[in-house]
């Protein structure tokens, strides 16, 4: 008889794409047993009703459970719920005393006014803002170890933060920074919409929420924590004809002493010990290299000196459902539970993607 696993986990909001990735990673986790999956959709049906890849893999079914019931006997609960829904469910889970990793944007910000502006509603529990550790391990690893409450970062936010984090820590990130990010259709969620309808999406590029995307304040907050000064992000997101993946390009003006070789060394040193961030040596980042995996790639290009300044282009790529979503939530969970950080996340992803 196989030995029992050390910890038990429940997923709330398991019928979406993020939930699918959470479930898949938990089912192969050697130390954490996925014991319960709650959803308002497919209640009483097997998980394969929403996620065909799980056909025959597990006997679990979707359950319609109140938060306290879902948390009974659990060591950790992972929330794959939409924004504004997590904020309603979290207090009951916190009262139950369970460790919590939330994938929504409801607890990433410390400022309730910023939440109201970017999410279009007053936060129902502003007293909880600031109690959650922001779950970017490359920024907050020590705070995540043993934390009770974690707010996992957004997909665009993760990619852009990793792309700019070494500059912030080196004191080189200040003022206006222009960023463009392209994203795959799975980032819009499982419910069909005009933005994800295949006949339009498959051969199209279109922007949405230019200069006002909801990830802007969390990016600014995280980079300020890392050392950015007076940062003003100008971010334009673009829907791309991809299912998975994010590719971000940021433009920063640097003193002319910052040649491409010097900047590259800064990035290599910054991420040398990071298990899931790499700086490719022979090429620049690309989505296909990280699709399906928890890895992110970053890279740099630097132009010639003009009047004592150089323009640096910084690039980042990741899978929005894994390192930009559920994979990072699992990474956070591992740190919270004191487990090896990369457990169930080491696979490099398929090739071709």
- pLDDT: is 352 or 10 the higher one? 10
- Kindly report, residue by residue over 206-251, the tens digit of the pLDDT: 999 999 999 999 999 999 999 999 999 999 999 999 999 999 999 9
Q: Is the bond leading into 294 cis (omega within 30 degrees of zero)?
A: no
In the chain the first and final C-alpha atoms are separated, in Å, by 37
Q: Does residue 6 sit in helix, strand or coil? A: coil
Catalytic annotation, residues = 155
Judge if 7-131 and 156-320 fold alike in CATH terms: no
Q: Does residue 214 sit in helix, strand or coil? A: coil
pLDDT at 3: 59
- Kindly report, residue by residue over 127-142, the tens digit of the pLDDT: 999 999 999 999 999 9
For residue 99, the 8-state DSSP code is E
pLDDT at 1: 46
Q: Is the pLDDT of residue 189 over 90?
A: no
Q: Is the pLDDT of residue 190 over 90?
A: no
Beta strands in 62-220 (DSSP E): 62-63, 76-79, 99-102, 133-134, 149-151, 174-183, 206-207
- Cβ-defined contacts of 65-70 (< 8 Å, 24+): 65/12, 65/36, 65/38, 66/92, 67/12, 67/92, 67/93, 67/96, 68/92, 68/93, 68/95, 68/96, 70/10, 70/12, 70/36, 70/38
- Does residue 152 contact residue 328 with C-beta atoms inside 8 Å? yes
CATH number of 7-131: 3.40.50.720
Tell me, letter by letter, the H, E, C secondary structure of 32-92: EEEEEEECCCCCCCEHHHCCHHHCCCCCCEEECCCHHHHHCCCCEEEECCCCCCHHHHHHH
Instruction: Tell which CATH architecture fits domain 156-320.
Output: 2-Layer Sandwich (3.30)
The DSSP element (H or E) to which 173 belongs, if any, is none
Residue 176's DSSP bridge partners are: 232
Q: What are phi and psi of 335, to 5 degrees?
A: -65, -40
pLDDT at 23: 97
Rounded to an integer, what distance in angstroms lies between the CA atom of residue 206 and that of residue 157?
A: 19
Q: Is the pLDDT of residue 323 over 90?
A: yes
Helix 216-226 × helix 155-169 angle, to 10°: 30
**In sequence order, which residues have a C-beta less than 8 Å from that of residue 94 and are 6 or more positions away?**
100, 128, 149
Q: What are phi and psi of 78, to 5 degrees?
A: -110, 130
**Residue ranges of the domains in the chain?**
7-131, 156-320
CA dihedral of 343, 344, 346, 347, whole degrees rounded to 10: 170
- Would you place residue 191 in the very low, low, confident or very high pLDDT band (cuts 50, 70, 90)? confident
Rounded to an integer, what distance in angstroms lies between the CA atom of residue 291 and that of residue 299?
A: 17
- Does residue 314 contact residue 250 with C-beta atoms inside 8 Å? yes
Q: Does residue 176 sit in helix, strand or coil? A: strand
Average pLDDT, the chain: 96
Q: Comparing C-alpha atoms, which of 225, 222, 233, 217 is closest to residue 175? A: 233
């Amino acid at each position: 008889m196989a030995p029992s696993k050390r910890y038990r986990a429940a997923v709330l909001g398991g019928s979406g794409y993020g939930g699918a990735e959470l479930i898949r990673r938990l089912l192969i986790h050697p130390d954490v047993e996925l014991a319960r999956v709650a959803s308002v959709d497919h209640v009483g049906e097997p998980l394969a009703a929403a996620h065909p890849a799980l056909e025959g893999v597990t006997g679990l079914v979707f359950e319609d459970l109140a938060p306290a019931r879902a948390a009974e006997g659990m060591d950790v609960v992972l929330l794959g719920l939409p924004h504004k829904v997590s904020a309603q469910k979290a207090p009951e889970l916190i009262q139950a005393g369970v460790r919590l990793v939330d994938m929504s944007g409801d607890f990433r910000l410390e400022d309730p006014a910023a939440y109201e502006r970017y999410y279009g509603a007053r936060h129902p529990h502003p007293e909880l803002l600031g109690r959650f550790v922001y779950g970017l391990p490359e920024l907050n690893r020590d705070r995540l170890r043993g934390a009770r409450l974690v707010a996992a970062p957004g997909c665009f936010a993760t990619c852009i933060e990793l792309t700019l984090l070494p500059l912030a820590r080196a004191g080189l990130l200040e003022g206006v920074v222009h960023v463009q990010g392209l994203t795959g259709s799975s980032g819009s969620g499982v419910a069909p919409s005009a933005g994800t309808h295949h006949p339009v999406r498959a051969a199209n590029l279109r922007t949405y929420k230019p200069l006002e995307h909801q990830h802007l304040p969390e990016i600014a907050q995280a980079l300020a924590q890392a050392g950015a000064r007076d940062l003003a992000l100008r971010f334009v997101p673009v829907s791309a004809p991809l299912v998975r993946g994010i590719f971000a390009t940021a433009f920063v003006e640097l003193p002319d002493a910052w040649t491409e070789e010097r900047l590259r060394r800064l990035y290599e040193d910054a991420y040398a010990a990071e298990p899931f961030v790499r700086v490719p040596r022979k090429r620049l980042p690309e989505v296909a290299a990280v699709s399906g995996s928890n890895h992110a790639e970053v890279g740099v290009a630097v132009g010639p000196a003009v009047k004592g300044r150089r323009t640096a282009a910084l690039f980042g790529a990741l899978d929005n459902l894994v390192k930009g979503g559920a994979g990072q939530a699992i990474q956070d969970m591992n740190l919270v539970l004191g487990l090896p950080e990369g457990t169930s996340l080491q696979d490099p992803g398929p090739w071709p993607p």
